[in-house]
Amino acid sequence: MKNKKIGMLMGGHNAEHEVSLASGIALAKALRARGYQICEIEVDVDLPAVLLRESIAVAFVALHGRWGEDGCIQGLLETMRIPYTGSGVLASALSMDKVVAKKMFRHQQLPVALDQVVSQSALAGFASHQLPFGLPVVVKPSREGSSVGISIVRKEAELAAALSQAQNLAGDIMIEQYVEGREIQVGVLDDQALGVIEIVPAEEFYDYKAKYQSDGVTQYLYPAPLTAAQTESALALGLAAHRALGCSGVSRVDTLLRPDGDFVLLEVNTIPGMTEASLIPKIAQGVGISFADLAERLLLGAACRA
């Protein structure tokens, strides 16, 4: 692999552009220190031409969100027969679409919150009395990452603004019954659940601001302060969710631990943040995998998966 030119694909055109750049720069630095030939590529519409011009033999996909984590880039790389890191086209697409992913989770009898999906065309005049459950609820655009566009609605007067915000983003709108609980996230690597971390967010929940703009107020507790039985349950649920969507390489599985001790599965992130301060590297470090080791392991797992 060290004789091949590796393209670090980062940036992209979505709300997670800056986060993706941070991941790509950190990964490139770590891999260069290991002797790999890294070409950093800020992804734009001319990506196919750039890949050909630079003679990229392997792609490390450090793109988050739409057109990077949703199967689009993976499909392009499959067509160009360039091996790439992470999940394949189908797993990426399934994971990115919250509505479809939840159907897969239910099919596997994994615990998820009640929800109602509202199409963009049916949003006008939508009110909480049309829901099969009451307030509070969580409003989510179905095809965005990093908690972009997510709102907690506790009063009827807040619903219209939350729906309007989500309407400006990708996909149908998922309205979930609000579940009170602790933010518990599981790292999965090469079909093995690595560990569990708890987030104590700076905001009401772990939204974009709490993730990237909290100025150190958001707390990350690793290992998560759980009982042995709770840790085992979280690890099993994380691995089951990863497998339910057919994921490869690394994933971060987001869950909530309810006060009654039961877990609720939220989503699977197939390209989680990958700076040294990100959650997956924190979990990996806890089991003896350095950031450079993690980056190299992901690179060596690159493949065409179609």
Answer yes or no: 273 catalytic. yes
Nearest to 237 by CA among 188, 167, 302: 188
Instruction: Give the residue-averaged pLDDT of 48-66.
Output: 96
Catalytic residue among 248, 273, 296, 305: 273
Instruction: Give the residue-averaged pLDDT of 202-210.
Output: 57
Answer yes or no: 206 catalytic. no
Catalytic residue among 87, 251, 269, 278: 269
Confidence (pLDDT) at 214: 46
Confidence (pLDDT) at 189: 98
Catalytic residue among 14, 20, 23, 146: 146
Nearest to 119 by CA among 58, 173, 52: 173
Catalytic residue among 203, 212, 214, 220: 212
Confidence (pLDDT) at 30: 97
Answer yes or no: 55 catalytic. no
DSSP E strand boundaries for the chain: 5-11, 37-43, 58-61, 115-118, 137-141, 151-153, 173-177, 182-189, 192-200, 219-221, 250-257, 263-269
Answer yes or no: 254 catalytic. yes
Interatomic CA distance for residues 304 and 76, integer angstroms: 11
Confidence (pLDDT) at 170: 62
Domains of the chain: 5-86 (3.40.50.20), 94-110+180-270 (3.30.470.20), 115-177 (3.30.1490.20)
Answer yes or no: 212 catalytic. yes
pTM assigned to the model: 0.90
**CA 306 centroid distance within chain:** 21
Q: What is the pLDDT of residues 87-119, one digit of tens each?
A: 999 999 999 999 999 999 999 999 999 999 988
Answer yes or no: 115 catalytic. no
Answer yes or no: 172 catalytic. no
